[in-house]
Amino acid sequence: MTHAAAEPPRFTRRLPTVEERSAGGVVVDVVDGQALIAVIARRNRGGRIEWCLPKGHIEGEETLPQTAAREVAEETGIEGRVLVELGTIDYWFAAGERRIHKFVHHYLLEAIGGELTIENDPDHEAIDVAWFPLNEAHRHLTFPNERRIARVAWQRLAGDG
């Protein structure tokens, strides 16, 4: 009786895991009784345009709310005052030789000044910025988890949350 040679065991190399934290938010301005949010557009790696909430990495000794306010101002041109945390989105991706577990903390911000512009974005990731009615944000935001954050913002402003 002949036995087939057993295949040698396959070793899969596990990538080291790194945790990253970012912050951003839903910056709201109320115009004629309607809540508007500033949303940015950027191109993904495949070249498609994605509309998303402004967010970015913590710099220095910043707190998460400070990071959210700075990133909103840089990416949208709108200065905001943090009111409340809305929630955290987490996801995994691979970059180079690492697996990254990313946590993005989102805050509700009240617009207190500034003008819509992408000119202050140091990374030049944003290619456009626009005001959208908060109750219609789900029609514009690309990612379901960001649509959920916008719904939480709507509920907080409506007094339901």
- Domains observed in the chain: 17-158 (3.90.79.10)
pLDDT at 3 > cutoff 60: no
Angle value at C-alpha 123, between 120 and 126, nearest 5 degrees: 70
Tokens of 94: 């691979």
Per-residue pLDDT tens digits for 92-132: 988 888 999 999 999 999 999 999 999 888 888 899 999 99
Tell me if 24 sits within 8 A of 106, measured CB to CB: yes
Neighbours of 136 (CB within 10 A): 14
What pTM, to 2 d.p., does this model score?
A: 0.86
> Average pLDDT over the chain, rounded to whole?
90
Query: What is the average pLDDT across 14-19?
Result: 88
Beta strands (DSSP E) in 32-149 are: 34-43, 49-52, 55-57, 78-95, 98-114, 126-133
